[in-house]
Structure 1
Amino acid sequence: MKITVDIDCTPDEARHFLGLPDVKPMQDAMMQEIQERMRANLQAMDPETMLKTWLPAGIQGMEQMQKMFWSQMASALGQEGRK
């Protein structure tokens, strides 16, 4: 036997019925705080400083990936030459 129950209610009604707390005010306050901190940090940094902060890790990662690729290619070619 299969029973299906459809409940038509809003999320607020379901939360109230289940006795769950309304966390929207806390989420709004946290998002406001995060936005203010991000805005303050972005205003403190000029574009050149931001690029210097972000790019070296990306460039270094690309260099490491390129070295790994070439070492794999060299080892594969070395194994083929031995056959």
Structure 2
Amino acid sequence: MKITIDIDCTPDEARTFLGLPDVKPMQEAMMREIQQRMTASLNAMDPESIMNTWLPAGIQGMEQLQKMFWSQLAGAMGQDGKK
């Protein structure tokens, strides 16, 4: 024997009938919180902030790195010339 029952109702009606809580206000609050956090994260991702994070010394640090590189290169070329 096979019995089929078709129930035509909205999700809200089904939730009420089954005694489940309405989580829509909580979902809306969570989505607002997520949106605020994402907006704050995007504001922190401007190019100047990223460069300050990656290169704390800024341009001076890059200049020092470049000077060190060139001094090492000049030292290596000077040693090769002496040999």
Does TM-score exceed 0.5, indicating one fold?
Answer: yes
Deviations 1:22-62 (A, max 9, x none): 0011001001000001101101211473xxx9xxxxxxxxx
**1:21 maps to which residue?**
21
Count of aligned pairs: 52
**2:45 maps to which residue?**
45
More helix by share: 1
Cα RMSD (Å):
2.3
CA distance in 2, matches of 1:15, 1:7: 13
**2:66 maps to which residue?**
none
Q: Which has the higher contact order (CA 8 A, sep 6+)?
A: 1
Moved over 4 A (4+): none
Identity %: 80
How far 1:19 moved relative to its partner?
0.3
Pairing of 1:2-21 with structure 2 (within 5 A): 2-21=2-21
Task: Give 1:42's aligned amino acid.
Answer: L
CA distance in 2, matches of 1:8, 1:46: 51
Structure 2 residue matching 1:22: 3-state secondary structure: coil
Task: Give 2:14's aligned amino acid.
Answer: A
Structure 1: gaps spanning 5 or more residues: 54-83
**Which of these two proteins has the greater Rg computed from alpha carbons?**
2
Q: What TM-score do the two structures reach when normalised by structure 2?
A: 0.56
Decide whether aligned partners of structure 1 residues 43 and 5 sit closer, same or farther in structure 2, where only a CA change above 3 A counts.
same
